[in-house]
Structures are given as structure tokens and as C-alpha cells.
Chain A
Amino acid sequence: MDNRQKEIENLKDYKYGFTTDIENTRAPKGLNEDVIKFISNIKKEPQWMLDFRLKAYERFKQLKEPDWQKPKYPKIDYQDLYYYSAPKSMKDKPKNLDDLDPKLLETYKKLGIPLQEQKRLNGIAVDAVFDSVSVATTFREELTKQGIIFCPISEAIQNHPELVKKYLGSVIPVTDHFFATLNSAVFTDGSFAYIPEGIRCPMELSTYFRINASNTGQFERTLIVADKGSYVSYLEGCTAPMRDENQLHAANVELVALDDAEIKYSTVQNWYPGDKDGKGGIYNFVTKRGLCKGKNSKISWTQVETGSAITWKYPSCILKGDNSVGEFYSIAITNNHQKADTGTKMIHLGKNTKSKIISKGISAGFSDMTYRGLVDISSKAANSNNYTQCDSLLMGNKCGAHTVPYIKNKNSESNIAHEATTSKISEEQLHYCQQRGLSAEEAVGLIVNGFCKEVLQQLPMEFAVEAQKLVGISLEGSVG
């Protein structure tokens, strides 16, 4: 057995499916003003933050849950969820990593995320979020030297209120759609990053999300602000234990890029996808939106979506500044009974704005995948360009692959090009590989990796390797 196969053997089952036995502090079950006040209180938040939450909650009460999406799910009882859960040991925030509960350290070690800085292997600054709180952020001092702020958002609310006040809700307003508004009301923690003017962030920033407690919704909020001329690359990873019930994850991510700034946001999403019969798994209903506020700014989303029972998200770019650029690279893989409805929105408002969408979807087993995207070139966005390519690969005739692009062009000086294909792996390709000594499974792995290559190339090195492995594992058992 060669290495790759061994690896696959090891990983065949969802290896992040363990639970950490740890004592939790929870908010009372259900959603009401008192719970919001409880969260705000436990975070020692200032009044303006509580007002922000309550305003969102007022709005939330008027909103109806959307139902236009392709994957349907049983109704979620929002009163039957815990909106806050944190390890007890986190009540008084530990000063440094040595004070951290060893069980937490152990968990992250198992997940392959070294929190202890002496063990730094890959030089990535990590903010680790466990259920509703951020447990540790590494490399902070080094970053502070350059003026970069990278900390849990709950800390930022206290230490940098002027920044948070200015940008929180500026891209995803409190009055946005159902899940975003719910998040605005009850978000618990997440990461905050601010890159000052002219600074190129020397290392990758990263957040690692972990859901542990059962019956809990995870609602984090990430806010990244890149000031003029700065650059940051940000990674996000996620896992959850195997449980029979479905868990809700409704995060909000806001990116703001000012003049000449660039943000690169990469996600490898590997939430628990449910078992072979589609039992359990995470509902990943995330709102991600980037605003290219300044001229010449750039936001690039890269995502590898392999987990979750249902993935329903559209990382978007609002290209407001002139000459700004938005990019979206995505691989979405669904197997067994997983469902995904994902894509992007590119909203061109400024002149000379450009966007590029590359989406690769692979569905196998009984799964169902939809690419849904919007390209909207407004009448003022003169000389703008969009290129979209979405390809789908089907394995077996029990799965589905759908493409639903919305294309709006209101400017005669702008061009939009869109193409999409759906096909299966051709017999010739398989035959060719097998003739050269690869097994059927290896051949499929090779072809799929080639199919995804355009997107995988966009990922930072460390992630690319992991993602490539994930692509192989997710399709395990779908051949033949």
C-alpha cells in the first residue's frame, strides 16, 4: 500500500469527528432579548454594541426564513438552540497559553493546529474559536510590532471600539437577510484583523472554527479591514464532531479593502457532512461579503467546500472603488447525501472594475449541487469586465448538478462572458490513465485534481496540500 492509499485509509472516516469532554457555560436555551443581553453582558460589551444587537433582533423578528434555495431542510426551531456556549475555563480569559485548559490544547493538537508558539511549524498566526469563544490567538506580539491588529472580535470591541464601530455592519448591515441578521443579534466571537496603511502582512492570518457542544448554533463574526495600500492573506478552517442531529452554523464575514489594498480570503470548509445515510451534519449558512471600497482595491475569495450537510453561501464582492477587482475561485464537492447551493455575487458599481469567477462543482453519490451566481454591472460601471466559468462533474446518476447564473448588464461599454459545462469523466480519460498502471480510483483522483487545479493553485501553499488531499478523500467510494 503506497503512502497516498495509507493516508486515505486513515482518513476514510471523518477524522475530526471526536468530541472534547469539557465543561461548558451556556446561555439559557432559546432566543429572546434576555439571551442577547446575557451574551452582551458576559462579553462585557459597551452599550453601543448591545444596541447594535437589539436593533438586529428587532429586525430579525420581522423577517421570514427564506425558502428559495434548492436544498430543502426541516424547519429549524430557533427557540430550541443554545446561542452561547463556552468552556468553563474561559470565563476569566487566560493571560497566556500556559494557563489554557490542557483539554483545549489537546483538542487543537488533535486537529493539527499548533497553538503553542514554540511549536510553530508553518508560521501562520491562528485565532482558534471553540464554540462561542476565541480561545487563543497566536503570534500576536510579532504582528503588533507592525501595527497589525489581530485578535478575537470581542476583544476588539473593547480595545479598538473606533475601528469596530466604523466598519462593523458596513458591508453586511444589521437589516440584511434572515441569517445575517440573526448573526448580528447573537454573534459570539470571531476574528478581527486590521492592517494599517502600507503594511504587507508578513504571515498568513488564520481562524480555526470548531463546534464542540451539541444543540448549539455557532454564530461568529469576522471583520477584516485592509487600510490603504496594505495586503493580507487570511485562511479559515472548520471542523465539528460527528453527531446525529443537524447543527446550525451561521457566520458573517465582512471584508473592507480601502485604496490599493488587497485581501485574499481562503476557506477550506470541512464541517461534519453527516453519515452515509445523510444523518446529522452541519448546516453551513454563511454570509460572506467583501467591499472594495477604495480605488484599485482587490478582494479574492477562494473556497474549497467539502463538508457540511448543507452548504448555502455566496461569498460576494461589491466593487465600489474605480479599477477594483473581485475574484472568486471555488471547488465544491458533495458526496453521499450532502447538498450545496453556493456561488458568488459580483456587483460592479465603480468604473473599470473587473471580476472573475471560476467555479468547479463535483457531485457524487446521492448529493445535489447548485452553482448560483449573480453578475450585475450597473449603468455607472463603465468599461467593466466579467468572466465566469462554471464546470460541473457528475459521478453516477443519482446525483444532480445545476447551474443558475443571473447575468445583468446595464452598461454598453462593459462586457460579460459566461460559460458553463456539465459532463462526466470520459471513458477515454479513465482508460488512458488505467492503461498506464493507475487503479480506477487513482485515475479518478488524478482527473479530479486536474479538473480542480485552476482553483487549487489559488490557495496558499499549506492549504493547497491539505485541500488536494481533501478532494481525494471526499470522493472516496464514489467510483465504480
Chain B
Amino acid sequence: MKEQLQKDFDNTVRNLTLSQKDIEIKKFYLDNFINKGFPNRKEEDWKFSDLNQIIKKNIGELSFYSDYTSTNKVDTSAFVDGLEHNKIVFINGRIEKIDFDYEKKDQIEIIDQSETINKFNSNSSLSDLNSAFTNKSFKIVVKEGYQLTKPLIIYHTTNSKIWSKNINLRLNFELYENSSLRLIDLFKDTSEKNFLNIFYNFDLKENSVLKNYKVDKLENKNIKYSFNNIEQDKNSISETFILSSGSNFCKNEINCNLNGEYSSAFVNGIFSINNNKHHEIRTIINHLTENTKSYQLIKSVLEDSSRAVYQGKIFVNSKAQKTDGYQLSKAILLNKDSEFNAKPELEIYADDVKCSHGSASGSLNEDSIFYLMSRGLNYQQSRELLINGFLLDVVEKITDPEIKNLIKNMIGIKE
């Protein structure tokens, strides 16, 4: 893999206009990645999902170089109907379109950061890989007091033009005081066997509100890793919703630092997976000051020989008195070959806190099925009704009514 990396790196750098110093920095990250390689199960964070093995088994040899010189055609029919929205379109990892048609131009700033390499708040080798190979990165700034009228949808599209490729994306968001942003990540993959490595950084200033919805619904054979780093100032709110369903392998990581008083973070997730899929959500919520709050709810429905992993950590440092932290994960195993692993972790150094977690996994409740069948539903209907209700619970946590409806329609959950 080492020669391949070197070769692809040289090709990638050739197409960029970077100063010698920047190339040196990128090279430093490349060397870091070459040293560490893809994470494997020996690392505690990857204990349940050995990415190295998964890539070997599903993709084999990866290529890290993509030719971004020619444009891809943007297929407008793929856009979400019935909801006016701003767009960022990625096709095969190339950024094709950024438009904020519905917003005041002077309230949003888009800064091309491709030529500045900023260190990411993560020690994983994947962040090194990302830093070494991202070709374009943008910073999106929402100005003070501005609340976007329409949501922003980021289309992550891949098509059959690419094969066995590693794609690295990076975006930075900065939300100034009293601003708000609704962001939907929509994955549309018709490609196979690629590895997507996505890093987002969110900087939330006082009183700002971020709502991020990640929807990976379409069946595809790709492997995805996505990392969200969220820094929160006083009174800010972040809400993250993850629908983890389509990809062969998918790991979502959320690292949230509650730096300011009265800031709060909500993470809600659904695993709905079948076949041999292997999905993971890992969250770290760091309560770093007084009166902060976090709430997490993860529900899984696992069919066939699928496997879901939830690793959630609540960290409370000794200054963070009056912390309120809650975490709940529930899983239904529908097949004898399915598997659910959880590691809900509490690390607490302050005494005046209220922290709890719960985790339960098991089969569908036969008594409930019996109850429904005795009222005239057949077995299949009863099963669907129960699963529907089980997952609806999480979707109902979405605070934005427009987007809640959109997501309900997308995943076919009925009320």
C-alpha cells in the first residue's frame, strides 16, 4: 500500500497549486498515515469494527488518486422535490455546485480553504489520510444574527465512474452569534466499493443553533466514515440525527465539546440494516463547563446477518457541575445471525451531576405480536407495526417539522 500511497499522493499534489510549505505539511500527514495505516481492532475505538479488515475484504486495493480536472454533469432530477433548499453538490468527491439561492448573499460567506491546511481535532489515522488527500475544502460562515430561511442539503453523489477509490471530503462551518443552520447530508450512491472519508468541523458561537441530519438510505456497496467535530459556545444547541442504513459499512463519529454554559447537544440515531451490513455510531460528548446538557437516543433494527455497534461516551470534567447527561440504546435483533454490540461509557469527575445510560437488546416482544394478532393483524403486519413504532420514537425527536416529514417519507415510517 505504501508505494501506491506515495504515487497517488504525488499525482494529487501535482494538480493542486500549493506552496512548498503546504506540500511539506501534507507530506507530514501522509507519513503519519503510512505509519499508522487504517485503524484495526487493536485500537479501542475500533474494537468492534476492524476497518482495515473490512477494506481488505470488501475493496482490496484502494486507489487514493482521483482526477478532478474535468467536471461532472449535475443531474437536477436527483434533487429533493417539494422542499425549497440551498445546495452543495459533491459528485465522486468533486465539488460541483455551491448555491445559497434562497439566502441573503452578504450574510453567508464561502471561503475556499483548499490552500490552507488546518489541523483537525482528531488523532485517528483517518484524519491524517483526509488531511493528506483532500483537494478542495471550504469554510461556510453564517454571519451574526442570520438564520437561514431554507435548509442546506449536501448531496453526496457517487456513480459508476469510480471504483475502488478513496474519496476525502472536508467542510468547515462557523455559526456566529444568534445564527442558525439546518443541514441535511444526503447520500446517493450508485457506485460500488469505494471508501468515503468525510470530516466536518462545526464552530457554534453563542446562542447559535445547528441541526444536522445525515441520511444514508439508498442501498450501496460503499464504505463510509464520517466524523463531526462540534465546538459549542454558551447557550448554543446542536442536534444531530443519523439514519444509518444504505451502505455496506458505515461509521459515524460525533465529537462534541460543550465549552460554554447552558449549551446542549442532542444525538439521535437509527440503524436499520440487513444482509451483511456493519454499521457503527460512536459519540463522545465532553461536558467541560457548568450547566450543560446532552441527550442521546439510538435505536437499531437488525435483520439477516447484519451487525450494529454503538459506542457512546459521556465525559464530565471536574468543573462541569450540574451536568445532565443521558444516553439510551435499544436494539431489536430479528435474525439469529444478527449482532448488536454496545459500549455506553460514563467518565465522570464532578459530583453534582445527573448522568445515566441504559442499553437493551433482544428480540421482538412475542406478547406484543400476540396482542396485535389477536386484534386481526397478520404476523407480518404486526411485526411491521411494532418496528415502525419502535423507530418512530427517534424520528419524532427531530425538532424541525419540515425535515421531520421529509425524513419520514424517505424512510417510509408511518404515523
Contact = CB atoms under 8 A, between A and B. Distances in A.
A408 B339 CA distance: 7
B336 A411 contact: yes
Nearest to A419: B358
Contacts, number: 116
Contact of B336 (A399, A412, A417, A418): A412
Contacts of B359: 405, 407, 416-419
Interface stretch (B20-28, B230-238, B240-248, B340-348): B340-348
Contacts of A406: 341-343
Contacts of B372: none
A421 interface: yes
Interface string A394-417: 111111111111111111111111
Given A409-B333, A412-B335, A420 B346 contact: yes
A403 B361 CA distance: 19
B360 interface: yes
Given A414-B362, A415-B360, A409 B341 contact: yes
Contacts of B342: 405-407, 418
Nearest to B340: A409
B50 to A, nearest CB: 15
A420 B356 CA distance: 5
A410 B344 CA distance: 17
B331 interface: yes
Contacts of B341: 406-409
Contacts of A395: 351
Contacts of A402: 345-348
B348 A392 contact: yes
Nearest to B362: A415
A414 B356 CA distance: 24
A379 B336 contact: yes
Given A409-B361, A410-B339, A418-B344, A424 B352 contact: yes
B353 A423 contact: yes
A418 B360 contact: yes
A398 B319 CA distance: 10
B370 interface: no
A424 B361 contact: no
Contact of B362 (A404, A409, A424): A409
Contacts of B362: 409, 412, 414-417
B349 A399 contact: yes
A158 interface: no
A394 B321 CA distance: 12
Contacts of B346: 392, 401-404, 420, 422
Interface residues of A, number: 34
Contact of A404 (B318, B345, B350): B345
A396 B351 contact: yes
Contacts of A419: 356-359
A424 B44 CA distance: 30
Given A398-B318, A405-B343, A409-B333, A417 B360 contact: yes
Contact of B338 (A394, A398, A407, A412): A412
Contacts of A403: 344-346, 357
B45 to A, nearest CB: 12
Nearest to B319: A397
Interface in B348-382: 348-363
Contact of A409 (B318, B321, B339): B339
Contact of A400 (B321, B348, B354, B363): B348
A128 B362 CA distance: 46
Given A394-B348, A404-B345, A405-B344, A421 B336 contact: no
Interface in B309-340: 318, 321, 331, 333-340
B339 A422 contact: no
A351 B29 CA distance: 50
Interface in B188-212: none
A338 to B, nearest CB: 16
Most buried by B among A396, A399, A420, A421: A420
A413 B362 CA distance: 6
A123 B228 CA distance: 63
Contacts of A410: 339
Contacts of B354: 422-423
Most buried by B among A399, A407, A414: A407
A397 B321 contact: yes
Nearest to A377: B361
A424 B335 CA distance: 41
Nearest to B321: A397
Interface of A: 68, 379, 392, 394-424
11 contacts: A379-B337, A397-B318, A399-B349, A400-B348, A403-B346, A404-B345, A408-B340, A409-B362, A413-B336, A422-B346, A423-B355
Task: State the 8 A-B residue pairs at the shortest beta-carbon distance, nearest first.
Answer: A415-B362, A412-B333, A394-B351, A421-B356, A403-B346, A407-B342, A418-B359, A424-B351
Given A395-B351, A415-B361, A418-B358, 5 more contacts: A397-B321, A402-B347, A403-B346, A405-B345, A409-B341
